[in-house]
Structure 1
Amino acid sequence: MGYTLVKQQSEEDCGAACLATVAKHNGRNFTISHLREFIGASQNGTSLLSLTRGAEKLGFNARPVKASPEIYQRITEVPFPVILHWKGYHWVVWYGKKKHKYIIADPAVGVRYLSAKELSQGWSDFILLLLEPDSERFYSLPDDKDKIQGFPRFLKRVKPYKSLLTQVGFLNIILGTLSLASPLVLQILTDDVLVRGDQRLLTRLAIGIGTMHIVSSLLQFSQSKLIADFSQRIQRSLMLQFTRQILRLPLSYYESRRSGEIVSRLEDIQEINSLVSQIVINLPSQFFVALVSFVLMLCYSPKLTLAAVSLGTVMTLSTFIFLPALRQKNRSLLVETAENQGILVETFKGAMALKTTNAAPQFFEEFQGKFNRLTNLTLDTLHIGIINGTFSGLVSKLGSLILLWLGSGFVIKGELSIGQLLAFNSMNGSFVGFIATVIGFVDEFTRARTATERLDEVIDATPEEADDLQKPYVKISAFADIYCHNIHFHHPGRMDLLEGFDLTIPGGKTTALVGKSGCGKSTLAKLIARLYFTQGGNIRFGTFNQEDISLDCLRQQVVLVPQDAHTWSRSIWENFQLGNRGVSFEKVVQACKIVQADEFISNFPDKYHTILGEFGSNLSGGQRQRLGLARAIVNDPPILILDEPTSALDPISEADVIESILNYRRGKTTIMISHSPSVIQQADWIILLDNGHVIMEGTPDDFYHQGGENARFLNS
């Protein structure tokens, strides 16, 4: 009996892969990227809570259970398949027991048959998730069965280049025909020229061969140019689709993945591009030559041809023997490469922390361990390729010797001439060469197949503005109240942060959101700006429902300034133009003066044309925050959310900058998140949050009169 298994794309995907495996076992097909969205997988993987929630959304009746050791004696009562928590950090699917072995489908390794001891060692906490498909919910949910995935998706990209491919195909046929002339020329040279001593025929033959080589070289030059053009067009198309998709994905996608994991997909594109070019161009031409060679070989000697086919079959044996191991190694290799790239990206981002904490030696040890694993995986993969190549090469050489021995016997018997034997050997070289190419192609296909699955995970992810084209552009009033009604929200793998949350933020005023760290202030800000999406309830701006407004429209009018203001490695002026091409230089200068950034910018030699370093490395934290504030207010949006954007400023500068912004924005809605009393005291309205609930709201005077615990946020 075959057991269903969906392989994971990265270490964090094991939970999603297990859920996809159980769904496929029950007749439904879901992509891992689809299920990651369902369960909310994070950089730390998938929690039992996330897995349970995702399974329920998928239409399963899911029940997490802490089993007892007696489960081995009552195994017939378990509704297999179930999902097990493996070794404390992994998820696998348990299919039950077959004879004396327990069947485990591990998304990282494959299907395994374990003894009771091995099972108990891996499943030591006895945590499992029972899954029973609800006949109504599970089978009514649309799945991804009809979604084109893998290579068919990428092969569709060649359709626009039919004309170019037709030219390449025509050149392939001509070049293939010319290459087939070589064995025939060799036969004529041996049997007619050398044996008979025909000098005139030799001269004609030499001229013909020379002409053929010149024509062949010119055709190969044209073919190479066309292939290079095709390859670059395909790569450009893939790269643009990938980049467009990455830019359309929600903030939660970036927060749940390592940056190195996303960057490594660029290498996947190169793998796919190489294979697509080979499938579309190289293989068909080699197949044509091999097919014609095979037909001619049959005409020369059916017996020798049978021997050649038998030897070619033996050449492929090692490839199919090592294919499962090669596929697993390539998958692990890509995952480990992404991990290493992620570490290097973190190194550049966290260089200051590395230096100030003296963590470099420890970091190097960690990187050394990961790089050693990568090296060992690469070496194992190379060893498989070396063994496979050596075996195929040995069979090819021995095969040539055997064919020469058999063919010589036919020459001695008079069944073949010497020229025919040499021509047969030459054509057999083309036939065996095609088999060798296919063997090498299997290796490339294995790598590219894994790369395709990983790239599919990005392309299939749901963009945040999937249905935005149907939504209107509206003008949000600066006096519009913001209504949060019955909001439900939780971060991946965590309990609900906001549950049945209700709040009204007055329009046209300055409102301060205060509370302890982790109480939900920043989350609420991101929900209002629709950087996060509610899991229940709705948010309104006056009469406009948030979900009915297109994201572009919303984010032009509801602007959030985070604590860690980001700048791009380009000039200060160009940073303001990003996403705001029509902004005038005068408005930029005015905004910078309001946040007191014009003074330090004017001290730079190139002023507003100063090139900023990566992540604003040539600016102080306070300077970056001032630029972030200026960029937010340059168009004076009706709703501005400030999430501790002045935390890097000294108290006096912070109070001055906030006062300047609020004076400029008088009569518009401004929401401030801060722990600074000097900032909070400038608000018209204060809302105190605690554990996702509104504890108190009112004016600063109301909080002063209330006194006690609630007034401490206003006291210096």
Structure 2
Amino acid sequence: MNESPKVYSIKELYPRLFHYVKPYWKAIILLLLALILTAAMEPLMPALLKPLIDDSMIKKDMDAIVMVPLLLALVFIGKGIGEYFSKVVGQWIAHKAILDIRYQMFKKLNALPLETFQRYSSGRLMSKLTYDVLQLGNTLSEAWIVVIRDSLIILGLLGFLLYTSWQLTLMILLIAPVVAWIIQWASKLMRNSSSDMQNSMGELTHSLEESISAHKDIKIYGAESYEENKHLNITENLRQHTMEVIKVSALNVPLVQVIAAVAMSSVIYAVSLMSAEDLFTPGELIAFIVAAAMIFEPIRRLTNINETIQKGMAAAESIFELLDQPEEQDAGKQSMNIASGGIVFDKVGFKYSSSEHNLLTDLSFNLNAGTTTALVGESGSGKTTIANLISRFYNIQSGSILLDGIDIKDIKLKDLREQIAFVSQDVVLFNDSIRANIAYGHNGFDEQAIIAAAKSAHAWEFIEKLPDGLDTQIGDNGSKLSGGQRQRIAIARAFLKNAPILILDEATSALDNQSEAQVQQALEELRKNRTVLIIAHRLSTVESADNIIVLDKGRLVEQGSHQQLMQLDNEYARLQKKGMLNA
């Protein structure tokens, strides 16, 4: 986005993440029990070393010889059971939460206003839904389990150490503030670098998407080297940010280990002196040293998992930034059934939020029900904006737009858009069957209705020749079809919707003559008994309109039929002479 993203504090992130796991509280209880079982087994292992050495090996006690190995076996069985359930249940909770987050993000995308999509690059949005969710998934599925389990293990081992010798345990605890400071320092650095990584990943995804969709243009203009260098620069930035995280993480763990080793060495020296003075039995000596050594492994894991946590927090920040975007506003309360389709623009003023100047100024005209109106004008005159305003993709700043006498801002968005069908030059088809593309958004149409729509759109003549007919898979955005076939599929979709208002946005401008003739036939059929708004540069399309509105810099400068405007010999005639309206 152009504007700076919101910065979230840890106090904001953790409660929001907890909101996604809270519904699975029963599984959380089972997970906590499994983690407690796993953690409880850790101090039991060094605790059993005392009777193993003192009773079994030194005193040769038969009861101890039998019971200690049995208890050790039970400890490892208990630990195995706890680890299994904590792994499986923890992963289940995490993936359920990620499923909810992904679904909420996708729902959010569908609820965002058009202006938000124009502020985001599509690559950044895709990166949020893929890479960022993956990073957060690692945190939810691994990090928090490690934190809880290893914190419990440390507490258990500390309890055993305090019970054995509180004086020596205090020596170990002296390193805690130093370790905490190192982790805090590393966390801040890694979170910042992780945010930079995610931004670079968004740029990379956007670059890849552009290169794949524009592969023909790249080849025809010989821009391979330019795109390769751009891609290399982006991936180099990503590599640098990744290395920053790796270097901090790599330094973080050895620092903690060195400090821990120094503390451990001091403890071993003190224990050895105490043992020499018979303050410790051999079993107690070994048990204390083993427990002290064991406590540093969960500390190491906690330090190591910090990288995953910080990546997850940076990802959560990116995800919540999307989820907190304002949704498309729908203040409309009025329902509307099939309208007759009359539209009135009454002194409409409009500007984009990023612009200081109005794109449309005091614009007034009528689209009479059942007639065809063409909008003409140079690029930037506001033609496509008018189509977007009718569909309420944007809200106007002044004036009003009426549909059958009702202000469209008072009509429920869903009801308003049910009255409108749209066919543009940039046809959007889905990687699915022809049947699914024609009936897109509808579940209630039978096959005969789909076939009838295809016939009306002059699409059935090529569909029935395909081996799989309506079930033919058409590829990414209809890549297996020609331009004319794709347009006719889009027109069939509009026929099936049977909306009273039809918007045609340069629907034939990119077609060859033969394809255009077929599509024009379909469009002529589609226009019957509908209120039609045409944005076109083809004279053959414009001159057949009942009314032509000529725009210049967001203002209406003249209107009338083709013959009337040619007789006026003004702006419309100038556009034709200038070549803005092609034959």
TM tier relative to shorter chain = over 0.9
> Deviations 1:537-581 (Å, cap 9, x if unpaired)?
332102222112222212221122222001111111011222022
1:103: which partner in 2?
A: none
2:309 to 437, 441, 445: 445
Matched AA of 1:448: G
2:108: which partner in 1?
A: 245
Identify the range of structure 1 (443-452 vs 427-436) with the bigger mean alpha-carbon deviation.
427-436
1:387 to 230, 251, 254: 251
Matched AA of 1:335: N
> Deviations 1:126-173 (Å, cap 9, x if unpaired)?
xxxxxxxxxxxxxxxxxx99xx94221121122211111112222222
Cα distance, 1:479 vs. partner?
4.4
Query: Residue 653 and residue 347 in structure 1: after superposition, are their counterparts in 2 closer, same or farther (change >3 A)?
Result: closer
SS at match of 1:283: helix
Partners of 1:670 and 1:629 in 2: CA distance: 14
Identify the range of structure 1 (639-648 vs 487-496) with the bigger mean alpha-carbon deviation.
487-496
Cα distance, 1:192 vs. partner?
1.7
Query: Residue 437 and residue 494 in structure 1: after superposition, are their counterparts in 2 closer, same or farther (change >3 A)?
Result: farther
2:323: which partner in 1?
A: 459
The Cα RMSD (Å) is: 2.4
Contact 1:659 1:682 (C-alpha < 8 Å) held by counterparts: no
2:524: which partner in 1?
A: 662
SS at match of 1:654: helix
2:271: which partner in 1?
A: 407
Highest RCO, 1 vs 2 (Cα 8 Å, sep ≥ 6): 2
Matched AA of 2:104: Q
2:68: which partner in 1?
A: 205
Cα distance, 1:528 vs. partner?
0.7
1:154: which partner in 2?
A: 17
1:638: which partner in 2?
A: 500
2:472: which partner in 1?
A: 610
2:57: which partner in 1?
A: 194
Cα distance, 1:386 vs. partner?
1.0
Query: Residue 341 and residue 310 in structure 1: after superposition, are their counterparts in 2 closer, same or farther (change >3 A)?
Result: same
SS at match of 1:648: coil
Partners of 1:413 and 1:375 in 2: CA distance: 57
> Deviations 1:394-414 (Å, cap 9, x if unpaired)?
222333222211211111122
Identify the range of structure 1 (314-323 vs 702-711) with the bigger mean alpha-carbon deviation.
314-323
Cα distance, 1:182 vs. partner?
0.7
Identify the range of structure 1 (564-573 vs 659-668) with the bigger mean alpha-carbon deviation.
659-668
Identify the range of structure 1 (155-164 vs 508-517) with the bigger mean alpha-carbon deviation.
155-164
1:283 matched to 2:147? The reply is yes
Contact 1:491 1:497 (C-alpha < 8 Å) held by counterparts: no
1:176 matched to 2:35? The reply is no
> Deviations 1:268-325 (Å, cap 9, x if unpaired)?
2232233234565442333233223223322222221111011343334433344433
The answer to which structure has the higher helix fraction is 2
Query: Residue 322 and residue 449 in structure 1: after superposition, are their counterparts in 2 closer, same or farther (change >3 A)?
Result: same
1:514: which partner in 2?
A: 376
SS at match of 1:500: strand
Contact 2:330 2:412 (C-alpha < 8 Å) held by counterparts: no
Matched AA of 1:218: I
Identify the range of structure 1 (254-263 vs 479-488) with the bigger mean alpha-carbon deviation.
479-488
> Deviations 1:625-676 (Å, cap 9, x if unpaired)?
2221221222221100000011122346535633543344323201111011
Partners of 2:354 and 2:482 in 1: CA distance: 33
Matched AA of 2:43: L
Contact 1:529 1:559 (C-alpha < 8 Å) held by counterparts: no
SS at match of 1:264: helix
Superposition pairs for residues 613-624 of structure 1, below 5 Å? 613-624=475-486
Partners of 1:565 and 1:475 in 2: CA distance: 27
1:256: which partner in 2?
A: 119
Matched AA of 1:553: D
Contact 1:169 1:281 (C-alpha < 8 Å) held by counterparts: no
> Which runs of no fewer than 5 residues in structure 2 stay unpaired?
none
Cα distance, 1:519 vs. partner?
1.0
Query: Residue 428 and residue 313 in structure 1: after superposition, are their counterparts in 2 closer, same or farther (change >3 A)?
Result: farther
Contact 1:316 1:439 (C-alpha < 8 Å) held by counterparts: no
Contact 2:124 2:206 (C-alpha < 8 Å) held by counterparts: yes
1:305: which partner in 2?
A: 169
Matched AA of 1:325: L
Superposition pairs for residues 417-566 of structure 1, below 5 Å? 417-465=281-329, 471-490=333-352, 492-493=354-355, 495-566=357-428
SS at match of 1:453: helix
Query: Residue 255 and residue 438 in structure 1: after superposition, are their counterparts in 2 closer, same or farther (change >3 A)?
Result: same
1:107: which partner in 2?
A: none
Contact 1:479 1:667 (C-alpha < 8 Å) held by counterparts: no
Partners of 1:228 and 1:611 in 2: CA distance: 36
TM-score, with structure 1 as normaliser: 0.76
Matched AA of 2:192: Q
Cα distance, 1:430 vs. partner?
4.7
Contact 1:250 1:463 (C-alpha < 8 Å) held by counterparts: yes
Partners of 1:444 and 1:220 in 2: CA distance: 20
Partners of 2:341 and 2:74 in 1: CA distance: 84
Query: Residue 315 and residue 281 in structure 1: after superposition, are their counterparts in 2 closer, same or farther (change >3 A)?
Result: closer
Cα distance, 1:531 vs. partner?
2.2
Partners of 1:601 and 1:619 in 2: CA distance: 10
Partners of 1:544 and 1:160 in 2: CA distance: 44
Partners of 1:188 and 1:286 in 2: CA distance: 26
Cα distance, 1:200 vs. partner?
4.6
> Which runs of no fewer than 5 residues in structure 1 stay unpaired?
1-11, 18-30, 33-143
Contact 1:173 1:285 (C-alpha < 8 Å) held by counterparts: yes
Matched AA of 1:328: N
Partners of 2:470 and 2:38 in 1: CA distance: 59
Cα distance, 1:447 vs. partner?
1.7
Query: Residue 484 and residue 582 in structure 1: after superposition, are their counterparts in 2 closer, same or farther (change >3 A)?
Result: farther
Cα distance, 1:680 vs. partner?
0.6
SS at match of 2:174: helix
Cα distance, 1:466 vs. partner?
5.5
2:209: which partner in 1?
A: 345
Cα distance, 1:206 vs. partner?
1.3
Identity %: 25
2:452 to 590, 600, 604: 590
Query: Residue 291 and residue 691 in structure 1: after superposition, are their counterparts in 2 closer, same or farther (change >3 A)?
Result: same
Partners of 1:409 and 1:495 in 2: CA distance: 84
Partners of 1:207 and 1:579 in 2: CA distance: 65
Q: Runs (4+) of structure 1 moved beyond 6 Å?
A: none
SS at match of 2:175: helix
Cα distance, 1:226 vs. partner?
1.7
Partners of 2:376 and 2:92 in 1: CA distance: 59
1:223 matched to 2:60? The reply is no
Matched AA of 2:24: Y
Cα distance, 1:199 vs. partner?
4.6
TM-score, with structure 2 as normaliser: 0.92
Partners of 1:605 and 1:234 in 2: CA distance: 43
Partners of 1:675 and 1:559 in 2: CA distance: 20
Contact 2:193 2:245 (C-alpha < 8 Å) held by counterparts: yes
2:462 to 588, 591, 600: 600
Matched AA of 1:374: L
Partners of 2:80 and 2:330 in 1: CA distance: 51
Cα distance, 1:687 vs. partner?
0.4
